[in-house]
């Protein structure tokens, strides 16, 4: 349980997240709930400016008893950039479309219900993923990768998801996937507990931190854990037109999949093999192109989690 009566509870709200309007409808009840626990509520709204969630979070973490990221996985991603390394606990209030992290934390999807539950959660130090790409260095909580998923995140406007729902987003993604060619790239990696570098080629790489990514990706990352000390990585061989459908089909049915390797790693480096760009993403946010390095930063975040 987080300390009661411990000062400021900062809510960092993304007004553009899929279900942000729910927060406004419950705001007075939320303030009351937090006041009953002895908190003074402060609310910060993010802007479309890159880094706005990070800047608010950094400032809030210095002077708050707890910070709450109110939005979807993209909002949590922004807030985490400002909170990594801080002792201040972070709670997730799901107001986005997918809300993969909140669902894996067992949180209800209404803000008041989620905050009520968070009051009974414990702050636990968890590792964060780290991604270094042409977009710089970022931390991630849900997943990171490159290949068609990265290109789709770059090409698709995330507002499509909240405006038309997940199904329309998937249809749009399927059309892009089938009409483009996906270049293979080089992957160099060290397995968990090993100092030896191995090399392979892949059409897609995904490191997951949660056991259920939701939607189409449900059931594909069952062994991933938020407190896992290594990267849980899925390597999909070329061509992507075969390995992606096989991943969604064979792997979900529990059948052997010759185009997929799933292993725990210390570190992974992806470099392009040709001139065509390969796109990277983390937590559904576009993060530039290869080269990309992934690793784990131990104990980097104090997250409010079920005890
Ligand atoms: N004030 C704002 N106006 C426009 N965009 C914003 C604003 N604040 C943040 N953003 C951007 O909104 C995007 C979507 O946020 P988020 O991912 O939290 O919602 P979502 O897509 O509905 O949820 P999920 O990722 O869980 O499906 C993020 O890329 C974030 O950078």
CA distance 73 to 216: 16
**CATH of residue 217:** 2.60.200.40
Same domain? 66 vs 181:
no
Predicted TM-score (pTM) of this structure: 0.94
* Number of the ligand 1 atom closest to the C-alpha atom of 285: 29
Nearest CA among 106, 93, 116, 101 for reference residue 20? 93
State both tokens at 145. Answer: 């990768």
Q: How far is CA 234 from the centre of its chain?
A: 16
* Number of the ligand 1 atom closest to the C-alpha atom of 71: 18
The predicted pLDDT at position 72 comes to 96
User: Is 1 inside a domain boundary?
Assistant: no
The protein residue with its alpha carbon nearest to ligand 1, atom 26, reads: 72
The predicted pLDDT at position 159 comes to 62
Nearest CA among 188, 210, 214, 212 for reference residue 267? 188
CA of 11 to the centre of ligand 1 (A): 15
Consecutive 10-residue averages of pLDDT for the chain (307 residues): 74 94 93 95 95 97 97 97 97 95 97 97 97 98 96 77 70 87 96 98 98 92 96 97 93 91 98 96 96 98 95
CA distance 134 to 114: 36
Same domain? 108 vs 209:
no
The predicted pLDDT at position 2 comes to 60
Same domain? 82 vs 169:
no
The predicted pLDDT at position 172 comes to 80
Residue ranges lining ligand 1, Cβ < 6 Å: 14-18, 46-48, 71-75, 78, 96-99, 158, 161-162, 284-285
Same domain? 116 vs 79:
yes
The protein residue with its alpha carbon nearest to ligand 1, atom 4, reads: 48
User: Is 41 inside a domain boundary?
Assistant: yes
Same domain? 196 vs 64:
no
Q: For the chain, what is the domain count?
A: 2
CA of 85 to the centre of ligand 1 (A): 23
Position of tokens 């080629």?
201
* Number of the ligand 1 atom closest to the C-alpha atom of 18: 22
Same domain? 98 vs 50:
yes
State both tokens at 114. Answer: 């989620």
CA of 101 to the centre of ligand 1 (A): 14
What residue numbers bound the domain in which 189 lies?
A: 131-299
**CATH of residue 27:** 3.40.50.10330
Are the beta carbons of 27 and 144 closer than 8 angstroms? no
Last residue of a domain, one of 69, 93, 120: 120
The predicted pLDDT at position 164 comes to 67
CA of 136 to the centre of ligand 1 (A): 19
User: Is 307 inside a domain boundary?
Assistant: no
CA distance 31 to 44: 14
CA of 126 to the centre of ligand 1 (A): 24
The predicted pLDDT at position 29 comes to 96
User: Is 305 inside a domain boundary?
Assistant: no
This model of the complex carries an ipTM of: 0.97
Partners of residue 193 on adjacent β-strands: none
The protein residue with its alpha carbon nearest to ligand 1, atom 18, reads: 72
* Number of the ligand 1 atom closest to the C-alpha atom of 19: 22
CA of 235 to the centre of ligand 1 (A): 28
Same domain? 249 vs 104:
no
CA of 127 to the centre of ligand 1 (A): 23
- DSSP SS3 for 73: helix
The protein residue with its alpha carbon nearest to ligand 1, atom 3, reads: 48
The predicted pLDDT at position 216 comes to 85
Q: According to DSSP H, which parts of the chain are helical? A: 21-36, 52-63, 73-83, 100-104, 111-118, 148-155, 159-179, 240-246
């Amino acid at each position: 349980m987080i300390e009661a009566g411990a000062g400021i509870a900062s809510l960092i709200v993304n007004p553009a997240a899929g279900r942000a309007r729910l927060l406004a409808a419950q705001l007075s009840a939320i303030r009351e709930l937090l006041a009953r626990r002895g908190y003074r509520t402060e609310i910060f709204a993010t802007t479309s400016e890159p880094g706005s969630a990070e800047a608010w979070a950094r400032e809030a973490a210095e002077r708050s008893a707890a910070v709450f990221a109110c939005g979807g996985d993209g909002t949590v991603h922004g807030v985490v950039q400002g909170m990594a390394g801080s002792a201040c606990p972070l709670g997730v209030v799901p107001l986005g479309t997918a809300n993969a992290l909140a669902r894996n934390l067992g949180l209800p999807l209404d803000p008041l219900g989620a905050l009520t539950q968070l009051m009974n959660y414990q702050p636990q130090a968890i590792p964060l993923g780290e991604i270094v790409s042409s977009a710089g260095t970022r931390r991630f909580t849900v997943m990171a990768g490159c290949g068609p998923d990265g290109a789709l995140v770059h090409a698709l406007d995330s507002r499509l998801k909240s405006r038309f729902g997940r199904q329309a987003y998937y249809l749009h993604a399927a059309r892009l996937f089938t009409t483009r060619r996906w270049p293979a790239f080089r992957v160099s990696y060290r397995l968990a507990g090993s100092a030896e570098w191995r090399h392979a080629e892949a059409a897609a790489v995904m490191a997951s931190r949660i056991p259920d990514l939701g939607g189409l990706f449900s059931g594909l990352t069952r062994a991933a854990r938020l407190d896992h000390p290594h990267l849980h990585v899925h390597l999909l061989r070329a061509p992507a037109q075969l390995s992606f459908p096989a991943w969604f089909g064979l792997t979900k049915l529990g059948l052997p999949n010759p185009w997929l390797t799933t292993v725990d790693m210390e570190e992974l480096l992806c470099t392009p093999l040709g001139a065509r760009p390969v796109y990277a993403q983390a937590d559904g946010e576009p993060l530039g192109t290869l080269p990309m390095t992934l690793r784990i930063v131990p104990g980097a975040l104090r997250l409010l989690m079920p005890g």
